[in-house]
Every structure is written in structure tokens, then in C-alpha cells.
Amino acid sequence: MKKKLLSVLLCGALVAGSLAGCGGSSESSDTATTEETTADSGEKEETKETASGDENTVSVYAWDANFNIPALEAAAEDYKANVNPDFNLNIIEQSQSSDVENAITLAGQSGDYSNLPDIVLFQDHYIQQYVRNYPDAWHDMAASTIDWSDFGAEKLSYSTINDVHYGVPVDNGTAIMAYRTDLLEQAGYSMDDMTGISWEKFIEVGKAVYEKTGKYLLCMDGDGNDLPYMMLQAEGVSQFKDGKANIVGNDTLKQVIQVICDMATNNVLYLANDWSDYTDQAIQGDMVAGVLNGNWIIPTIEKVEANSGKWEITSLPTLKGGEGYAANGGSSLYITGNCKNYELAQDFLDKTFGAGSTATYDAALKNGGVITCSTKAGSSEVYNEGVDYFNGQAIYAKIVQMGANVPVVEQNDYHYTCRQQLATAIHNICEGGNIDDELKNAEEQLTFAMEGNE
């Protein structure tokens, strides 16, 4: 019973988290808002239909009409044109990602999965918990023909459980380190200077940038701080070890937290008050010369048209120097245990997203900004085109290449709880608190949450 309660609590925590970065919404509701989109017509109507009994139709729950849904529509058109001309994808739009999690939770608690669709889009950070808690809700991909080596190991680590694949990757959460080249130049630096550097050097550059331009070299939402996780992953280290909190005694994490506080107290890092302050004031309000986050932050950067041609991207700094790689956010597609036509659903996923189809991913990138995790798809002409906003840099091909190098670190269902506790610790340390005491308190709070739901 506690595990079922945990599912509900985590759904609520997810809504409070940085859903904006994953294409979700911060608004919650008790019931999912569902709209049906057929890949043929594009028309929408209220519907209660879930799994399809039609031999040529597959249904799917997904959210975000501007991001994930155009990617699904691109895959449907690809499959229809090249495999099955009678194919129809019934997209049942959800208002946010937590609606999908709630649907699985309610079905699992009742033991009745008959209201689920054939496929669901599901956030990477939560899938393992849901497969463990509700194993009957899912159909594995053991019979798939997908060449899994085409995808980065880090991305697959979420959807692979006991060496069995359950999901097919869709969007790429690879982190980017983006810089305003014009502001770097004013401080006497270039992109070459910022690639493969240490965080110590980064702070040195950041001080110079602030002195010359009045801009911070980095910003992050201080309330939902993803920075420690990405910096730590770039070092190949996790916040968890053997299923338990790994905060106290984690020397790498302590160094990362110290760097963050050093940046914040030296006008190198702007810790925003909330997500709106981070996106609207810091990034779009022209307060910063650099942005570090999952590549889904790119559309936020691009909203400032006046800065077109002034940005470029590279890898992350690391503690000792050298190029760092991390990821933040992302989702995959999963076949449910209620699927009425498993062979069709699997074949659809195998030959579009799973095959690294350039037809699917080129259109998904153009129409929704979804970046592939497939190295094959990421080598297409479309991915290698220069992007004017980023000074002609072929950023999408570069993101796919970086994604292949993201190290696999231990994940945990309490990822967002840990993030909250570390954000509080960072705030207190920057205000003068003792780093050891604050990290000890963070681990105690995290452990309490984890043990309370066993």
C-alpha cells in the first residue's frame, strides 16, 4: 500500500518540479484532459477511447502539442508512407506528463488496465518505479528488432530493467553549455577557451565577464536546482549509491556544491527565485552570458531575437578540466499491458523512432524541436545544417554526439526529492551555513523520505 501511495505522491512532486523543461505544465488537475488527434486529419475532438481494437490503429497518450505530439505525427506519417498505408495513430493528448502517471497509478491500484491506451509517452526518471510497482501495466520490448547500440547507454539505462528493454527513446535530454560569444569576447575569451575547461577556470572567466559586461556567466532556478545533478553526472558520480542516499561522504558532490556556492557569491552564477525568474528574467531578460541545462532550453534562449547569431554551444566544464557530458530530462514510448495489437504497436515503434528513421526524426526536429537520441538519425543532412541563431553552428548533430558520451550513473525514484533537499542546502550554504552540516541535513531528510515509503 505504501508503494501505491508513493506513486501518487511522486506524481504530485513531478508537477511541482521542472516540468517546463520536459514539455509539461506546472498546472495540475484531478482528471486528465484528453483530446484525440488522428494523424490523417489533424482534427481534435473530446474522446474516451483508449486501446484500439482496429487492426490498423494504435492509440497513444502524450502531452505537449508543440513538442512531443508533432514528433508522434511525424512517425505516423513515416510509417504510413513506408510500411502500412492503412495505419492510423490515435493520439490522445494529455494536458501534462503527470496525467499519464496518474492514469497508470489509478489502473494499477484498481487492477483494471482496460482504460489504458496501446502506448504511453512516459518520463524517464519515473519509469523504473512504475514498472516495479505495476508490472502488469507494461509489455516489454524483448521481441523488438531495434539495434539498441544506436542509442546512448545513458538514455537506455532508464528504460532497461533487469536487462530487458521496455521503452523506445524519443527525445534527447543531453545538457548543453551555451555561451554568448559577443560577451565572452568583451572579456577577452572565445569558445575555444570555454571548451574542456575546469570549473575553477570557469569562475575566473565568470568574474571577468561580470566585471566587463555586468552579466552572470551562468544561471539556474534556485528553487528546483538541476545544476548539482548535471555537474555530478559529468564527473560520472551519482547522488545515490546501492539504492540509498549518497550525499554525506560523497567528496565529488561536496566539491560540486562548493563550486556552486563560490559561483553564486562571486557574481558568476545567478540563482533565480523560481522557474519564471530563471527563464523570463535571467535568460530572456538578458542577465546572463551562459546557460547550462537540457537542450530543451534552446527555444527559451531563441525567444530573444536580438541575440540571434551571438550564441554557441559546447560541452560542460568539469572539476579537473576536460569535456563533461550530462543529461537532464527526456521521455520514451512504452507499450502498455492493455495493448490490443502488440505486433502493430511494436512494429510502428521499431521502424520509426527505434530505427533512427531520418524521415521521422528530421520532421520531428523541424516541426516540434525534438532532438533524436539515435546516432544514425543524428547524422542526417538536416541535423548537420547550421543554425543561424547559434552562429551557423550545427548544434543538433553536436548534441547527438555529446549525448552518446553521457556517463551512466545510478538513478533513483527519489531524484526530485533529492533535488529539493540539495537546493535547500545550497541556499543555506550560500547564506553562510556550514557545508558539512547542511549536506548531512539534506541526506537525513532524503533518507527519511525514502525509508518512510518502503
Q: The cell 516540434 sits on which residue?
A: 368
Q: What is the dihedral of CA 182, 260, 22, 317, to 10 degrees?
A: 60
What confidence score (pLDDT) does residue 121 get? 97
What confidence score (pLDDT) does residue 223 get? 82
Cα distance between residue 281 and residue 278, in whole Å: 6
What value does the mean pLDDT take over residues 260-267? 96
- pLDDT, tens only, 341-353: 999 999 999 999 9
- pLDDT, tens only, 327-381: 998 899 999 999 999 999 999 999 999 999 999 999 999 999 999 999 999 999 9
Residues forming beta bridges with residue 332, ordered by sequence position: 122, 169
Query: pLDDT over 70 for what percent of the chain?
Result: 88
**CATH code that applies to domain 2-173+330-382:** 3.40.190.10
Share in percent of the chain as helix, strand, coil (round to 5): 45, 20, 35
Cα distance between residue 130 and residue 413, in whole Å: 9
What is the location of CATH 3.40.190.10 in the chain? Answer: 2-173+330-382, 175-326+409-451
The pLDDT confidence band at residue 15, using thresholds 50, 70 and 90, is: very low
Indicate the length of the chain as a whole number. 454
Q: Where are the alpha helices (DSSP H) in 239-304?
A: 251-265, 275-276, 298-302
| pLDDT higher than threshold 70 for residue 1 | no
Domain 175-326+409-451 has CATH 3.40.190.10: yes
What confidence score (pLDDT) does residue 454 get? 60
What confidence score (pLDDT) does residue 44 get? 41
Sheet holding 175-180, edge to edge: 290-294, 175-180, 311-314
Cα distance between residue 356 and residue 168, in whole Å: 11
Q: Which residue has the higher pLDDT, 27 or 120?
A: 120
Among the listed ranges 8-12, 46-50, 104-108, which one has the minimum average pLDDT value? 8-12
Determine contact, residues 412/418, Cβ cutoff 8 Å.
yes
- pLDDT, tens only, 208-225: 999 999 999 999 998 878
| pLDDT higher than threshold 90 for residue 91 | yes
Q: Which of 391, 239, 229, 249 is nearest to 324 (CA)?
A: 229
435-451 and 251-265 are packed helices; what angle lies between their axes, rounded to 10 degrees? 120
Cα distance between residue 167 and residue 126, in whole Å: 12
